[in-house]
Each structure stands twice: as structure tokens, then as C-alpha cells.
A and B are shown apart, each in its own frame.
Chain A
């Protein structure tokens, strides 16, 4: 006899195997991006053409560094989820899909790690 309820059986069986959490995280990160990207555009406009010392000082200012770290976090989560959707839509072969999804994760984590390293070094490094 099967004691599992019908809900339990279909749970996690959607194409992404993770229910609505992909959608929700995509939206939360999109809202965070909205504010943080507007901030980033302001920052970049104010630094256009600035010399090295000025850029370094601006990027290591505590609030700036903090907001940059938050943008890196929400940006990386968002771009990874977004590219996952694109991959799932266009790649049919299961093997290729798994490899592409893995590369997507590696790329996103790499970009995130490099950027976080840079911001931390600007803040705390010599």
C-alpha cells in the first residue's frame, strides 16, 4: 500500500524540480536589482572619466562597498536563475542541459567571487 498523498507524489516534479521557489527568488532578486542597479548607474555616471585614486576612494567608501556587495549577491542569483530558464527552454537533450546548467552555475559563482574579492580588497586591502 502506498501511504504517500497525491500532493506528495507530484511535489518537486515540475520541470525545475523546485516548485515556486525559482519564480519567487527571481522576483525578489529582480526587485533588489531594480534599486541597486539604479544606484550603480548613478555611481558609474559620477565616476566616468575619474582618475585611479578617485575611483579607489569612491569604491572603498563603506556604504558604497556594502551596496556593491548586495548588488553582486542579488545580481548573481538573478542572472543564474534567468539563464537557467533560457537553457531549459531551448536545450532539449538531457545531457547537454545538465552540462549547460552546471556551466551556468560555475560562471555565475565565478563572476560573483571575483567581484566580491575586488570589493573586499578595495575596502580592506593595502
Chain B
């Protein structure tokens, strides 16, 4: 409740609209913020991609340092997270493309697309790492 002074000086309590914290999180809200969080994480992670390219271009010694980092447990953890963020953001982007055409904006489809994004992002990430094991 916000306190406001009326012109005669008496305080009246005005209702405020409810804040984000008191809503039960809905799947579409969660996917929306995850699209932003993964976008920001991918942004920072471009440093690693650029490092890998620069290391490969610089020479065997530089490349070994990068390879050792990416091959370490910590490196794998980062790469796993990055691959999931990339795939999740990509699927979220496709969802945005569908919405941009004006389709899929009813609650049922929004929920379906939101659940689809999270389920498929996890499934595809596991598939990618399975491929690394098989073909890598």
C-alpha cells in the first residue's frame, strides 16, 4: 500500500499492483528470463570461443594451453553449460520466430512451446555430448 496525501492532508492508502515476487512463477515467465540469461551467458562466453580461435592461430604451445583448459574437469563443466545455453537460446529464438508471425500466442500453445523449449534443450544437449563421445 502506498501512502498518499489528499489535498486536505488526510492520508489514504492506495492499492499497488502486485509485484513479481508474489506471482506463482509460470513456465512462460521462466523461459522468458532464461532466454535473457542464456543470451547474456553466451555473450560473455564468446571470450572462450575467440580464445580458442586465437590460440589455434598462434601456434602449438598456445593451442596446448587452451586445449588443457577445455579438457579439464572445469573446462568440461563450462563447455557443457555453454552448449546447453546455446541450444536453449536457439530453441527460444525459434519460439520467438513463431510468435513473430503472430501464431502460437494463445495460452495453451505458449505453455506447450515453453515446456518444449526446456525439454528439447536438455535432450539435444545430451545428444550433442553423446555425439562427442561417439565421434570425438
Contact = CB atoms under 8 A, between A and B. Distances in A.
Q: Which size bracket describes the interface of B in this complex?
A: 20 to 34
Interface string B71-110: 1000000000001001000100110110010000000000
Given A52-B60, A125-B57, A118 B90 contact: no
Interface in A39-81: 41, 45-46, 48-49, 52, 55-56, 59, 68, 75, 79
Given A82-B39, A86-B36, A52 B64 contact: yes
A37 B57 contact: no
Nearest to B59: A52
Dominant SS among interface residues on chain A: helix
Of the four ranges (under 10, 10 to 19, 20 to 34, 35 or more), the interface on chain A belongs to 20 to 34
Given A55-B63, A79-B46, A111-B50, A48 B40 contact: no
A91 interface: no
B29 interface: no
Interface of B: 36, 39-40, 42-43, 46-47, 49-50, 53-54, 56-57, 60, 63-64, 67, 71, 83, 86, 90, 93-94, 96-97, 100, 128, 131-132, 135-136
B132 A48 contact: yes
Nearest to B70: A48
Nearest to A83: B43
Interface stretch (A13-21, A27-35, A95-103): A27-35
Given A48-B136, A52-B67, A118-B50, 15 more contacts: A27-B100, A31-B97, A38-B90, A41-B128, A45-B128, A52-B63, A59-B53, A68-B53, A75-B46, A111-B46, A114-B54, A117-B54, A118-B54, A118-B57, A125-B57
